[in-house]
Structure 1
Amino acid sequence: MSLNATLASVTRRIAERSRPYRTAYLARLDAARHEGVQRGALSCTNLAHGFAAFPANDKLKLKQDRAPSVAIVSSYNDMLSAHQPFERYPQIIRDAVREDGGVAQFAGGVPAMCDGITQGQTGMELSLFSRDAIAMGTAVALSHNMFDAALYLGVCDKIVPGLLIGALHFGHIPAVFVPAGPMTSGMTNSEKVKIRQLYTEGKIGRAELLEAESKSYHDAGTCTFYGTANSNQMLMEAMGLHLPGSAFITPNTPMRDALTAAAAKQALKITAQGQQYTPVGRLVDEKSIVNAIVALLATGGSTNHTLHLVAIAKAAGLVIDWDDFSKLSSVVPLVTRIYPNGTADVNHFHAAGGTGFVLRELIDAGLMHDDVMTILGQGLRAHATEPLFDEAGKVTWKATPKDSGDDTVLRPAANPFSADGGLKLLQGNLGRSVIKVSAVKHEHRAVQAPAIVFHSQEAFMKAFKAGELDKDFVAVLTFQGPRANGMPELHALTPALGILQDKGRHVALVTDGRMSGASGKVPAAIHVTPEVLAGGPLGFVRTGDMIRLDAEAGILEALVSEAEWASRTSETADLSGNQTGMGRELFSVFRASVSAAEEGGTSFGLPPVLENEKATV
């Protein structure tokens, strides 16, 4: 099937907009590549330091300047269930690489924090900035210039984007991303939501809530709902950075280990010394970025990627914005129903056909670029497959079944759950914002009600518990942007707003903060840009102003006369409490330099353009 016209147009727009920066990026990439193995650029003293502690056979290979060296960069820690499985991976990787004549070295670890643990806590204010810290940690790991390829071990919210941003700053080095997989299914999502609401209403206590949460999050692996962590895995598949079908294989199983070993061997094949040199900086181009956006939209993925994909693209010299997301969302069908957009979890999704089914359907519908570079070197259609063991016990791949295994979870593009991707751009006198409506019923997608302004989650919850919010209103939560307090996720509000909506109240949330992949049934205009601390007009709103949020029409505005609006100045707030404690003072440099949400919320910029390209910028 021919390529969808909107997809083609958006891709061209990105390429044209990005040309000066992409040209500069690729020039830098080519300049970093060394003829022969990368460590050949090191002095003898440098190199001796680099292999001093290695076994004799590996040391000999590294001395000879012929066998490729593969870096392992891992987010392993044993507190976080999603990352605990990575403890075993380095030895699996070393053995697999040795079998094929190379050497694998653990180059470095990167931090990994869990938004599930820090939700509603002070530590959440470090969350967004941890992405850039992870990118910096990746750069430190690779700075020794020893490596011909790298394996990146990561799963969750900021970790995978951070690893990929770091990898792209070493874009001459091939990259393979290696997931850990989801934990097995626990308590059903519908039961979990019910118990959380009962707790919020004061009908059960902390002991009952903790018991239920322990049944939901009960084993090694990532959380099974379709939040940012599992959206990350979908995007790595859509960009061709995973081995096909590897995202949602559960940890500590024979297939999981076999895929980890196979990923290590594939990394060797795509080094400059292998069969097909595939530098990650060329793999990630405008077409693969568009494929990632399409996969996000088609599966109802995390709104966090309206920041992360922008930042990832920027690291590769590419410029995307929310108009690109919005235009693609208008033509990309929603083909999955995974919690919070349905009741199924990612294990059900995987069993129904999973990532391979989604990729094939979108390619066949002309909604993805097949002619892209991937770690397999065969175009994206080669990733529309699923792994299995052959008769010899080795992992191989077969075509994904034509039919969905469960059409309440996964459907073909010709018969989707919705004709569009469920991510909308909102604009008006309050700024620009995104809203995820894939879980919002049509009757709740437009709300017009008086504003109640809050400067913190705590102030909102205090009003809710005092019974002051049992009415129609729009919660306007300000000073939640990256400059103000690091842009924490605001899920503490979700159960309370859900209770009010269930009681028949017309409610919505408008904020310059985040809600992420667990955005649910209440309409939430998030990432409002510019943020209030940067002079954004959301700071002009006063309690009692009528707010119109219309996701169908793409409108976000305060219904205030132009004269009154022009006369207002922004509200102020005491943010001194957000500056110190729980390590926040160490991240002050990020708050001072961070870009706007639509620019990725990053502390780094686009590559400086070449002299002969400056006239086109």
Structure 2
Amino acid sequence: MPAPLHDVVHRVTRRIADRSRDSRSAYLGRLEAAAGRPRRHRLGCANLAHAFAACSAADKAGLRGGEAPAIGIVTAYNDMLSAHQPYAAYPDLIKPAVRAAGGVAQVAGGVPAMCDGVTQGHAGMELSLFSRDLIAMATAVALSHDAFDGVLCLGVCDKIVPGLLIGALSFGHLPALFVPAGPMPSGLSNPEKSRVRQLHAEGKVGRDALLDAEAAAYHAPGTCTFYGTANTNQMLMEVMGLHLPGASFVPPGTALRDALTAAAARRVVELTAQRGTPLPLGIQVDERAVVNGIVGLLATGGSTNHTLHIPAIAAAAGIQVAWEDFSELSAVVPLLARVYPNGPTDVNRFHAAGGMPFVIGELLDAGLLHADARTAAGDLEPYRTMPALDGEALVWGAPHAVSDPMVIAPVAEPFARDGGLRVLSGTLGRAVVKVSAVAPEHRVVEAPVRVFDHQDGVQQAFARGELDRDVIVVVRFQGPQANGMPELHKLIPPLGVVQDRGHRVALVTDGRLSGASGKVPAALHVTPEAAAGGPLTRLRDGDVVRLDAEAGTLEALVGAAEWQSRAAGPTESASPDAFGCGRELFAVFRGAVGGAESGASIFRRTAGA
């Protein structure tokens, strides 16, 4: 049995509920109204005929009667993304499984899915974060026929899962499950890949060697095996009860993966109103589920992107989450996983050592998760178990014993006593920093700054040897209003080289870093951003800045009179052109987006965030 709920988890959950009382009540009121709205069986004859025109005779019969639950599949399939390529076969697995459970499944629509790995450092990355909200809108379009009784969402990668969930929450009167695809087999190790990247940054190996290393790391269908945003998404869906237990990291193309996909299809039918045990998504995703998601993020050392995505997801359910909630929980949630970039191993090794079922069981026993949160399996207790095949039957049992102390640890002997996510505040604004992979001696950096308005300038300065010293690199005009808040992965190899040379180095930016957050301390998502007149615009080359991840401060050590005399506000900058690669089409998003602390969403803008 789980332990009593930890006092801090209880207090943070209560605070979120109190903060969200009015917005959550309004959301639940909308769900109640939507649940009574006419759907398929009340459509006009022409409307209904359009809805099932392409179906088989048997499926038409089921849909005509109105009693067979209709399941809408919203898919992010494309075969550019290795993680999404397996989804090509999913509708053909799902439809017979739903039919056998007495329902009818149709592909309701597709949503765009871009690969951040392809666009890193290029103009397309400026569309990446905004693609989350576009996916939410596309999900709503797919479900707008209002002809479905349940939803299956097919998505894995960075902005896609949060976008699908935000969109599905706008139809939160319906049950919804997420169906994962699993990670690719382990290839070239992530530490070795990182080593080659640093050698290339130093000019010690050429492009061919670098491409060989990258192709050996990313080499097959399935999710990239490091613990970036895509795999953090899978953790999040599991700990929030939106996957079947233990489903997140089962490899694609296996009999177990197919069995889990079919089981998810059957389960969503069981959760529809027609089956008498409905679990509407908007009821399931409550304050307890959101807090469980934050705890899972902290316990596994997940992507910093989720300090944006979780507030945006919560807001879609009428729940208001603040960065203080992350920080307060981080102080009591131990780090139980070491998966690259927080350690040398990958998600396949994590799963083999017990994976999510082991982590969830440990957190339940420590009272750090809401055991009574609603899930696809009832409550959170079944998520202690690992799926397996007994012949052709899908069964769940106890996870493997901890057999790999390099990758997974019990609460009694964690890798760290806290979750390693801190909120920084000071004269430069507010930011988040992930320190789970940062050595203690690098968590406080005080050094002169070098200020850049674009990441290309950092690469050029490094190549000229101008960063070979103690330095805090500031990259501004990278926030959501400026250019869509791109990830800045390509900064990590050169800054890692500078640190390895014995210098004190840190990064401060109003942009993102995500799963690349590693050994170099990085103050991310600085808000207010530079394009909104934030304090980063006051910095000048040579100013001394102190990033103190232990004390939670981010300060410009500039005299008060001098600091106040400097004009705040947008300056002439080298921020990227607003045209080309589709960027002109997203001007409306840049104009409407809220601040980082409220999720950098176009759907919810919070004053001062």
Task: Please give the TM-score of this superposition, normalised by the length of structure 1.
Answer: 0.96
Shift of 1:390: 2.2
Residues 122-131 or 183-192, more deviating: 183-192
Counterpart amino acid of residue 320 in structure 2: V
C-alpha separation in 1, matches of 2:541 and 2:263: 58
Q: Does residue 545 in structure 1 map to residue 547 in structure 2?
A: no
Given that 1:594 and 1:603 are in contact with CA atoms closer than 8 Å, whether structure 2 keeps it comes out as yes
C-alpha separation in 1, matches of 2:222 and 2:572: 40
C-alpha separation in 2, matches of 1:301 and 1:578: 32
Counterpart amino acid of residue 194 in structure 1: R
Aligned to 1:492: 490
Aligned to 1:573: 572
Counterpart amino acid of residue 286 in structure 2: D
Aligned to 2:261: 260
Aligned to 1:415: 413
Aligned to 2:350: 349
C-alpha separation in 1, matches of 2:605 and 2:528: 19
Q: Does residue 526 in structure 1 map to residue 528 in structure 2?
A: no
Helix, strand or coil at the partner of 2:132: helix
C-alpha separation in 1, matches of 2:333 and 2:365: 13
Q: Deviations over 1:45-102 (max 9, x none)?
A: 1111101111111011101111110000000001110000000000100010111111
**Unmatched segments (≥5 aa) in structure 2:** none
Given that 1:333 and 1:419 are in contact with CA atoms closer than 8 Å, whether structure 2 keeps it comes out as yes
Shift of 1:575: 5.8
Counterpart amino acid of residue 549 in structure 1: L
Shift of 1:577: 4.1
Aligned to 1:17: 19
Aligned to 1:504: 502
C-alpha separation in 2, matches of 1:593 and 1:179: 32
Given that 1:38 and 1:145 are in contact with CA atoms closer than 8 Å, whether structure 2 keeps it comes out as yes
Shift of 1:578: 2.7
Given that 2:152 and 2:176 are in contact with CA atoms closer than 8 Å, whether structure 1 keeps it comes out as yes
Q: Does residue 394 in structure 1 map to residue 393 in structure 2?
A: yes
Counterpart amino acid of residue 590 in structure 1: F
C-alpha separation in 1, matches of 2:144 and 2:451: 47
1:576–1:360: structure 2 CA closer, same or farther, 3 Å change rule? Answer: closer
Shift of 1:190: 1.7
Aligned to 1:603: 602
Given that 2:454 and 2:575 are in contact with CA atoms closer than 8 Å, whether structure 1 keeps it comes out as no
Q: Does residue 95 in structure 1 map to residue 96 in structure 2?
A: yes
Given that 1:175 and 1:279 are in contact with CA atoms closer than 8 Å, whether structure 2 keeps it comes out as yes
Given that 1:315 and 1:606 are in contact with CA atoms closer than 8 Å, whether structure 2 keeps it comes out as no
Helix, strand or coil at the partner of 1:578: coil
Counterpart amino acid of residue 488 in structure 2: L
Counterpart mapping for 1:255-334 below 5 A: 255-334=256-335
Aligned to 1:433: 431
Aligned to 1:611: none
Aligned to 1:480: 478
Task: Please give the TM-score of this superposition, normalised by the length of structure 2.
Answer: 0.98
C-alpha separation in 1, matches of 2:180 and 2:495: 34
C-alpha separation in 1, matches of 2:338 and 2:385: 21
Aligned to 2:6: 4
Which residue of the other structure, out of 446, 453, 461, is the alignment partner of 2:444? Answer: 446
Counterpart mapping for 1:156-305 below 5 A: 156-305=157-306
Given that 2:121 and 2:488 are in contact with CA atoms closer than 8 Å, whether structure 1 keeps it comes out as yes
Aligned to 2:454: 456
Given that 1:21 and 1:606 are in contact with CA atoms closer than 8 Å, whether structure 2 keeps it comes out as no
**Unmatched segments (≥5 aa) in structure 1:** 608-617
What count of residue pairs does the alignment treat as equivalent? 603
Counterpart amino acid of residue 349 in structure 1: F
1:606–1:173: structure 2 CA closer, same or farther, 3 Å change rule? Answer: farther
Aligned to 2:367: 366
Q: Deviations over 1:587-616 (max 9, x none)?
A: 111000000000000000289xxxxxxxxx
C-alpha separation in 1, matches of 2:417 and 2:576: 45
Given that 2:245 and 2:377 are in contact with CA atoms closer than 8 Å, whether structure 1 keeps it comes out as no
Counterpart amino acid of residue 3 in structure 1: L
C-alpha separation in 2, matches of 1:510 and 1:41: 56
Q: Deviations over 1:564-585 (max 9, x none)?
A: 1111113613467431100001
Helix, strand or coil at the partner of 2:341: coil
Helix, strand or coil at the partner of 1:450: strand
Given that 1:34 and 1:41 are in contact with CA atoms closer than 8 Å, whether structure 2 keeps it comes out as no
Given that 1:73 and 1:150 are in contact with CA atoms closer than 8 Å, whether structure 2 keeps it comes out as yes
C-alpha separation in 2, matches of 1:256 and 1:298: 25
Given that 2:223 and 2:230 are in contact with CA atoms closer than 8 Å, whether structure 1 keeps it comes out as yes
Aligned to 1:612: none
Q: Deviations over 1:103-139 (max 9, x none)?
A: 0000000000011100001000000000000000000
Counterpart amino acid of residue 159 in structure 1: I
Given that 2:41 and 2:65 are in contact with CA atoms closer than 8 Å, whether structure 1 keeps it comes out as no
Helix, strand or coil at the partner of 1:262: helix
Counterpart amino acid of residue 341 in structure 1: N
Helix, strand or coil at the partner of 2:275: coil
C-alpha separation in 2, matches of 1:88 and 1:291: 32
Aligned to 1:614: none
Counterpart mapping for 1:89-168 below 5 A: 89-168=90-169
Given that 2:69 and 2:103 are in contact with CA atoms closer than 8 Å, whether structure 1 keeps it comes out as yes
Q: Deviations over 1:428-485 (max 9, x none)?
A: 0100000000000000000000011000011111110011111111011110000001
Given that 1:226 and 1:518 are in contact with CA atoms closer than 8 Å, whether structure 2 keeps it comes out as no
Residues 38-47 or 273-282, more deviating: 38-47
C-alpha separation in 2, matches of 1:48 and 1:267: 24
Given that 2:492 and 2:516 are in contact with CA atoms closer than 8 Å, whether structure 1 keeps it comes out as no
Given that 1:455 and 1:573 are in contact with CA atoms closer than 8 Å, whether structure 2 keeps it comes out as no
Which residue of the other structure, out of 30, 33, 38, is the alignment partner of 1:31? Answer: 33
Same amino acid, percent of matched pairs: 61
C-alpha separation in 2, matches of 1:239 and 1:573: 44
Residues 67-76 or 266-275, more deviating: 266-275
Helix, strand or coil at the partner of 1:151: strand
C-alpha separation in 1, matches of 2:470 and 2:127: 33
C-alpha separation in 2, matches of 1:584 and 1:181: 31
Q: Does residue 406 in structure 1 map to residue 407 in structure 2?
A: no
C-alpha separation in 2, matches of 1:148 and 1:38: 8
Helix, strand or coil at the partner of 1:565: helix
Helix, strand or coil at the partner of 1:356: helix
1:576–1:7: structure 2 CA closer, same or farther, 3 Å change rule? Answer: closer
Counterpart amino acid of residue 296 in structure 1: L
C-alpha separation in 2, matches of 1:293 and 1:81: 27
Aligned to 1:78: 79
Counterpart amino acid of residue 31 in structure 2: L
Counterpart amino acid of residue 33 in structure 1: A
Counterpart amino acid of residue 26 in structure 1: L
C-alpha separation in 2, matches of 1:188 and 1:576: 35
C-alpha separation in 2, matches of 1:47 and 1:464: 62
Helix, strand or coil at the partner of 1:124: helix
C-alpha separation in 2, matches of 1:2 and 1:51: 50
C-alpha separation in 2, matches of 1:539 and 1:405: 50
Shift of 1:394: 1.4
Aligned to 1:384: 384
Helix, strand or coil at the partner of 1:273: helix
C-alpha separation in 2, matches of 1:222 and 1:389: 22
Given that 1:39 and 1:145 are in contact with CA atoms closer than 8 Å, whether structure 2 keeps it comes out as yes
Aligned to 1:590: 589
Given that 1:74 and 1:108 are in contact with CA atoms closer than 8 Å, whether structure 2 keeps it comes out as yes
1:41–1:535: structure 2 CA closer, same or farther, 3 Å change rule? Answer: farther
Shift of 1:34: 3.4
RMSD: 1.2
Counterpart amino acid of residue 582 in structure 1: C
C-alpha separation in 2, matches of 1:301 and 1:337: 10
